[in-house]
Structure formats: C-alpha cells, structure tokens
Structure 1
Amino acid sequence: MKDSKTTDKLTEFLKSGIYRFEDSNAVFIDPIRVLNRSYSRFRVSPSAYYCRRFESTCPPEPTVASSSRKRKRKEKKKPQALNDREQVADRRHQEVRALLVKAHESLMRSSEVLEVMSNLRGSETWSPGVEQSFVELALVWQAPLYEISLNYKAGEDGGSHATQDCEQCVLPVFNNLVVNESSNDVEAEVLKSRYILPPKSSFYMSDMGQIRNLIPAESDCGFSVIVVDPPWENGSARQKLRYKTLPNHYFLSIPIKQLSHTDGALVALWVTNREKLRDFVEKELFPAWGVTHVATFFWLKVKADGSLICDLDLFHHRPYECLLVGIYHGKVMNFEQLLGSDHIPDNQIILSVPGDYSRKPPIGGLLQEFAPRLKGGRCIELFAREMTSGWVSWGNEPLHFQESRNFVIE
C-alpha cells in the first residue's frame, strides 16, 4: 500500500511530468506531460512522440551463428590503446558513472513511475506520413512568397491590434517573427499542411544568416534563458540523411551576448559525448560567447520498461548525452544576484524515454526552477524543431514537430 507521501509525489508527477528522486541527484521527465502543459485544446500524441524503436540502437552481440574464422580473427586482435582524447573521455565517463548508476537504480525502485511508463505510447495508432521539408522549401525562389495562416476560433482574440478584428492572420512564414499572442492553441496552415501553435509562443524560421534579426533593440528586452541544440557535424550517414549538420566554427558566430538580457542569461548547450567537441566548446565556443561553464547535466536514456537503451559502458555508444549549463554575466557579476538563493546543481541526472531521432526532452521549465529569478524573463531555443508556450523558437524548421498529425484533440 502506498503511503501518503508517495501518493502526493505521484500526483504531482502526473500533473507536472517531473518526478524527483530523494535518494539521488536525479529527476525523471515524462516529455508528454511536460509538453502538454503548453497546450489548451490539443495534446501531444504519445504514439507520435514515442515513434522510435531501440532494438538496434547498439551494436549486436556476437551470435552462435558467427563463423569460426571471424571469431578467431577477433580473438587475435589486441585491444587498442586509447589515444589522448579517448582517455579524457573515459575519465569523464568514470567520474560520473556512479551517479548514473545510482540514478538508474532509483528509477528501477520507483514502482509507481515504472507503472506509468508501462503504457507510454497509449492505445492510439500513428502513421508517419509525408513531412513537409521547410529546409528544402526555403531554397526555392518562391520562398519569400510563402505564407502561414493563423486561424483563430470565433470570438478568440489574438491579443494585438493586428488580430483583434479578424479570425485569420496571414504572415510570411520565412524570415519573419510569427507570434501567437492568444491564450489558446492556434491552428495554422502552410501549403495545405496544418500546424498547432501553443499559446503565447512565437517562431522565426530562417537560416544562420538571419539570426541577428532576433537581437532586441534594447538589451533590457533580451533573453534570460537561452537553450541551444546545434546540428553538430557528425560522420554518421544516418544522421546526415535526417538533417543537415554544420561545421563547428559556424556556431562561433551565434550572437549570444547580443541576444542575452542586459543583466545576464542562463545558457544551456546540448553536446554529444565526442571529446573533440567538448574540447571545442570549453576552449573556443563558450569563451567566444562570453559564457562561463557552471554545471553539466546528463540525459540518461531509458526504455519504457526502465532499462537503459544500451549498455552504460559501451565506449562509442553511451546511453546518455550532456547538457552544458553556463552563465553569460552581463551587468551582474555575482551568481547569487542572478540566480537568487538557489544554485545550479552540477551533475544533475535527467532520465526519460527518448522521442524521435535527436529530439531532446523539454528541460526549459527545469532550468527556470534552478534559476528562480529568471522566471518571467524571455526565453529562446536556438535550432529548435518544436515550440513551447512562452518561448521563442528559432531555426530552419521550428515547425517540424508542430504538424497536426502529431497531436490529438482533448
């Protein structure tokens, strides 16, 4: 029988989508529940979000059917010594390994969370269909002529003079800030495809050359929280087919200083486990942005039954990614002044079941909890592929996961 404390924690989890473990520096995130806090009439479809399978995530183990010749050849191979970068990467892994194990053990002991996870995809069916490629659409000569129609319900108010007197607002879809100022979800249409925009949200769809259009005229109107999920260059052919990547030096030109609020900003950057990339961020990227690294979060990926998506110690296939959290100081040089009485915990573990390829769990609200004085400030996600209520989403496909087939009506 569950005690009242456990029941209260479960009730809060079902409401917020975040479950905090008392015996480890970890939280479990249910992305569907977190995302649905951004919507009024629509809900994210669980079967659409959890469309990914993990059976082939990691290299298969050798089978009995393997030829004896291949086995002998493998037996003769001596383990290769790690190079300098690999040794650093392995040290990083060993330093956090115990915390990751403890966090995973906490999840496996939480029967109430595992019970909720057992039916993550729900009973509905979902078909991937044909996605509209905004990346390709932006390359054609007609791109400046393409428009998005925001269709407000009768009697619904867009919150500005531009939308008070009409039920439909038509705007350029590229190189333009498209805002849903209403307090309700809005259905939008681009070339006969429908999209769902959450309340009080906006997006700016463009390439890197247009990002400076988001710099506010006054720094007091800058962003207090900036989340960045760059399309890091990667040798994986599979990844290159899914989305275009950019060389690391491209990201040096992101105007973090100019986008930040005059007092400073919390900056969170998603990175892979490649040591070359970590070295680039620490020695070149953060210094170029004027950002001081203060904490590292780890996203530990699990399956619906709670097990890790692959072995924790596979060298080139770690079941976790890193979120590097930093501070752009601005005029405020003291962490306590910027963040309030709380501080950002280092080595915070976030557990969740991954969605589609490269889709990150929604961590914006969690970041604001660690920096309470930043609540109410402007927030932006760079290289975004989805929208969040109260946030600006910038990238070359911020409507990627907003297509109506990814939602159900409540």
Structure 2
Amino acid sequence: MPSSILYQNAQRTVFLVDIPSSIANAQHLPTSPCPGTQRRLISSPPLEQPFPSPPEPKRDKARENVLKMIPESQRQLHESIRLIIERGLQEIRDSLSVGSRWCLPRECTSTIHDDVGKGAEENEAPRSNKTRNQGKVQTTIFCLSPRPPVILSPTDTNRFSSLADLHGTEVRNPSPNSVSIRVAADSQTFTIPPASSFVLGTLSTPTASANTPPIPGLPPDRKYSLIILDPPWPNRSARRAAQYKTHAEKGNSLNGLVALLRDIIHTHLDTTSLANPPRVAIWTTNSAKSCQAAHKVFQDTGIVPVEEWIWLKTTVSGEPVTPLDGLWRKPYEILIIGQAAATATSGMVGAESSSTRVNRRLLVAVPDVHSRKPNLGELVKAVGFFSSGDPGTGQKYAALEVFARNLTAGWTACGDDVLRFNSDRWWIL
C-alpha cells in the first residue's frame, strides 16, 4: 500500500504526512499484503487558504503589552520552533515539484458533518475525548475483578445489541485479518483491524479510597513499550465553540488528569525490555499549562523528555494555516516523547543527540476532520525507535493509545470514542 509519508529527509527530521492515508494504512499489519480493494477514509476537503486570523494588535506598543503576558520560556520555545518550521518548509518546497499539493487526493462527502458517525455519538456513553463531552474523566468505582475479555470471531460478524455491551471490558481481535462488529441499536458496523484490541469506556480519576485500575477493563499486568496519550487539555477556543468540554471546566484543575496519566504510565509501561527502550508520547496544545502538566507527568514517572515532534498544519500549498508569529493562534501542536531515565540516552535516531538536549522533528500535514491527528504507526517505524519484535505480525513493539479515536492494527486503544473512525460510515470502497 502507498506510504502516508510523502517526503522525509535523509536525517529523518522533516516529514510531510498525509493524515487520511496514515489512518487507512494503520488498519493493516506491516506483514499483510496490500488488499485488492483498499477502503478509503472519508475526509474533509483540504484547506486551500489559511484560516482567518483573529485581529492582531496594530501598534507596536499594544503588541509589546501582549507579549509581556506570555512567559519568557514560552516565547523562547516558540522562537526555536519557528526557526525549525521555516527551515523544514523550505526543505520540502525545494524537494517537491512546482505546483505539487501537500496531501493526497481525498474522499469527501457533503453529509460528513450531518450523518457520518452520528449514530455512534448518540449511542455511546459520554466521552472523555475531544468532542462535546471532552475531558469527562470521572471518578467511578469499578469491580476489582475485571470482566473476561471479549474475543471476536474471525469468521462471522460479531453482533451486539448496543455498544453498552462492550463498555468496560477488553475486546480483542487476535486474527491476522480484520473482523466486523455489528451493533443492532443503530444498525452500525465497525471494522476491527487485525491483532488489535480496545477498551471502550470512561477513564477513572484515581482516588485514595478506591484501588481501581487506571483503565478499567484492561488487566494491570498488561505492559507496553510505547504509550501514546492525547489528553483532553483545557482549550479556550474549543469552549467558545461549544464543541466539547475540557477537563478544567467548572473549576476542575489539571491535578486529576495528571494523576490519571501518571497512573497509566506506572501501571502499563514496560520498563523491563532491554531491546526496546520504553517510550511515552504526550500530545500537548499551545497552552503553557498543558506543556507544564505533561512535563509534570514525566517527572512523576521517571521519564526523561528526549524528543519533540512538531505537527505543523498547512494548506495544500504548504502555507501555515495561521501566521507563525500570530499572538492568538499557533499553527502547530507538539508531541513530547520521553524515555525511562535509565535508557534516555540510548536509541536516539536522527537529529543531534545528547543527555540534556531534546531532539526535534517536524511533521507537516494538511489538517483533516476536526481533532484527527496523523497516525504515528508509520512514523514510529520510519525513525527506527524499536529494533526487535514479533516476526509474525511485523510489530516490533507493543503500543497503547489512550484517548484514541481510531484503532491501529497490532495496538491496544482505549477511550470513550475509541471506535469513532472505525465505523463503516467513515469508509467507502
């Protein structure tokens, strides 16, 4: 199948990625042959022009006053990122032919926002991911004895009356092929990738009075060498749009969310593997508070930040979706990647390495449907993070994605919206 990486430099520090194909490719194992008919993910039209920018201060004095409200450390971080972005964009432009579009052709429909996936939203429990109920990380007491896993049949359609039948338990597809789940309540079908598993449900905020697992339904002894977290950080623009709630609404602090992420890492990160140094990746927003919270999680779990992947959002012609020097909106998000302290200086590939310097890579991608991010499966392989693994599946590591919105072949995913983009309503032949 065609790679979702449209460009990468020799140093593997600059990538141009196609988001829809990254998710489509993630539905197959590395060892699987390319299917005769490749399903295509329904997407939003790619941006032709940047977003309208909020009004910026017109006078130097007014701009200076706004800059004074931004911490010096955050301004320095942005300046260093701006230089990386400018160099990376120029490198991609020099490598592409004139007039090339910065994404692959997309499948778009006029009903994408009205019908596609609506049934899933109406029948699922409140979600702790990035939509209208984002951040609903609840304090819930669960039975200490987890329910047995649901093993999906590889030969028949797996039928359930509603998605509630699957809440709070691990659902596995051990087959090397995709399988189907049919939900009668809304006549919806979900395609489950090979060798994948998921836990559908609301994550539990840890409490002193309840000894509950951080991911109810996932056995605490299940370990992973890669954990990817996309937490529901507070977001002012999202609250204004009323599209989803965030964890810090109604006076809640970030403490509960930080504690949850910390407990997930403590419980599920495999720190025993010598061949594959364990890694944790946390998506952050442009809010200083989210970056500080992510670093707090790393500090509390003995994880040392070793890389930052900057996802720059551009138009089809490679122009940032908002001005790089805009004060109100930045056109990028940052994925902070850390390793267990004992292995933090090993296994570094690409940019200059040192025990005190964080390596940075630039991921350029034209944005897609709201809150879709590039699937990291191909990128993790491209940078050579893991060197050994299962020869049967081609997976060189065990991965857990938390607050996921789609499944990945060979990975485990969890969250209240974990099946969203695996609904067949999002796919066409």
Q: Return the TM-score normalized by structure 1.
A: 0.76
Which residue number corresponds to residue 373 of structure 1?
Answer: 387
How far did residue 363 of structure 1 move?
A: 1.6
Say which of 257, 260, 280 aligns to 1:253. 260
Letter in 1 for 2:191: I
Alignment of 1:149-160 (within 5 A): none
Q: Which has the higher contact order (CA 8 A, sep 6+)?
A: 2
Which residue number corresponds to residue 49 of structure 1?
Answer: 43
Cα separation, 2, equivalents of 1:306 and 1:74? 26
Q: Are the structure 2 counterparts of residues 267 and 214 from structure 1 closer, same or farther at C-alpha, using a change threshold of 3 Å? A: farther
Q: Are the structure 2 counterparts of residues 286 and 313 from structure 1 closer, same or farther at C-alpha, using a change threshold of 3 Å? A: same
The alignment status of 1:205 with 2:195, answered yes or no, reads no
How far does the alpha carbon of each residue in 1:101-146 deviate from its partner, in whole angstroms, 9 at most, with x for none? 0111122223359635465225876533331355873269xxxxxx
Q: Are the structure 2 counterparts of residues 76 and 84 from structure 1 closer, same or farther at C-alpha, using a change threshold of 3 Å? A: closer
Letter in 2 for 1:208: L
Which residue number corresponds to residue 69 of structure 1?
Answer: none
Q: Is the 8 A contact 1:298 1:321 kept in 2?
A: yes
Say which of 142, 158, 168 aligns to 1:168. 158
The alignment status of 1:109 with 2:118, answered yes or no, reads no
Question: Which moves more between the two structures, 392-401 or 107-116?
Answer: 107-116
Q: Are the structure 2 counterparts of residues 51 and 214 from structure 1 closer, same or farther at C-alpha, using a change threshold of 3 Å? A: farther
Cα separation, 2, equivalents of 1:237 and 1:217? 33
Q: Is the 8 A contact 1:301 1:309 kept in 2?
A: yes
Letter in 1 for 2:176: S
Question: Which moves more between the two structures, 287-296 or 51-60?
Answer: 51-60
Q: Are the structure 2 counterparts of residues 106 and 24 from structure 1 closer, same or farther at C-alpha, using a change threshold of 3 Å? A: farther
Question: Which moves more between the two structures, 113-122 or 23-32?
Answer: 113-122
Say which of 280, 283, 286 aligns to 1:270. 283
How far did residue 164 of structure 1 move?
A: 6.4
Cα separation, 2, equivalents of 1:124 and 1:208? 33
Q: Is the 8 A contact 1:88 1:275 kept in 2?
A: no
Which residue number corresponds to residue 35 of structure 1?
Answer: 23
* SS of residue in 1 equivalent to 2:307: strand
Identity of aligned residues (%): 23
How far did residue 350 of structure 1 move?
A: 0.6
Which residue number corresponds to residue 348 of structure 1?
Answer: 361
> What stretches of structure 1 of length at least 5 have no aligned partner?
1-11, 63-72, 141-159
Q: Is the 8 A contact 2:306 2:339 kept in 1?
A: yes
Letter in 2 for 1:88: S
Letter in 2 for 1:168: N
Q: Is the 8 A contact 2:43 2:108 kept in 1?
A: no
Cα separation, 2, equivalents of 1:239 and 1:388? 32
Q: Are the structure 2 counterparts of residues 407 and 30 from structure 1 closer, same or farther at C-alpha, using a change threshold of 3 Å? A: same
Which residue number corresponds to residue 343 of structure 2?
Answer: 334
* SS of residue in 1 equivalent to 2:225: strand
* SS of residue in 2 equivalent to 1:347: strand
Question: Which moves more between the two structures, 114-123 or 267-276?
Answer: 114-123
The alignment status of 1:180 with 2:177, answered yes or no, reads no
Q: Is the 8 A contact 2:7 2:92 kept in 1?
A: no
* SS of residue in 2 equivalent to 1:223: coil
Aligned-CA RMSD value: 3.5
Q: Are the structure 2 counterparts of residues 245 and 166 from structure 1 closer, same or farther at C-alpha, using a change threshold of 3 Å? A: same
Q: Is the 8 A contact 2:239 2:245 kept in 1?
A: no
Q: Are the structure 2 counterparts of residues 188 and 52 from structure 1 closer, same or farther at C-alpha, using a change threshold of 3 Å? A: farther
Letter in 2 for 1:49: S
Which residue number corresponds to residue 146 of structure 1?
Answer: none
How far did residue 33 of structure 1 move?
A: 2.8
Cα separation, 2, equivalents of 1:176 and 1:239? 34
Q: Are the structure 2 counterparts of residues 116 and 53 from structure 1 closer, same or farther at C-alpha, using a change threshold of 3 Å? A: closer
Q: Are the structure 2 counterparts of residues 241 and 188 from structure 1 closer, same or farther at C-alpha, using a change threshold of 3 Å? A: farther
Cα separation, 2, equivalents of 1:186 and 1:206? 21
Cα separation, 1, equivalents of 2:38 and 2:111? 16
How far did residue 74 of structure 1 move?
A: 6.1
Q: Is the 8 A contact 2:314 2:366 kept in 1?
A: yes
* SS of residue in 2 equivalent to 1:270: strand
Q: Is the 8 A contact 1:342 1:370 kept in 2?
A: no
Q: Return the TM-score normalized by structure 2.
A: 0.73
> What stretches of structure 2 of length at least 5 have no aligned partner?
29-34, 128-149, 205-212, 249-253, 390-395
Cα separation, 2, equivalents of 1:270 and 1:341? 20
* SS of residue in 2 equivalent to 1:372: coil
Q: Are the structure 2 counterparts of residues 346 and 58 from structure 1 closer, same or farther at C-alpha, using a change threshold of 3 Å? A: farther
Which residue number corresponds to residue 119 of structure 2?
Answer: 132
Cα separation, 1, equivalents of 2:421 and 2:155? 30
Which residue number corresponds to residue 287 of structure 1?
Answer: 299
Say which of 72, 78, 101 aligns to 2:62. 78
Cα separation, 2, equivalents of 1:323 and 1:394? 19
Q: Are the structure 2 counterparts of residues 124 and 197 from structure 1 closer, same or farther at C-alpha, using a change threshold of 3 Å? A: same
Which residue number corresponds to residue 229 of structure 2?
Answer: 228
Cα separation, 2, equivalents of 1:101 and 1:340? 24
How far did residue 208 of structure 1 move?
A: 1.4
Cα separation, 2, equivalents of 1:363 and 1:51? 22
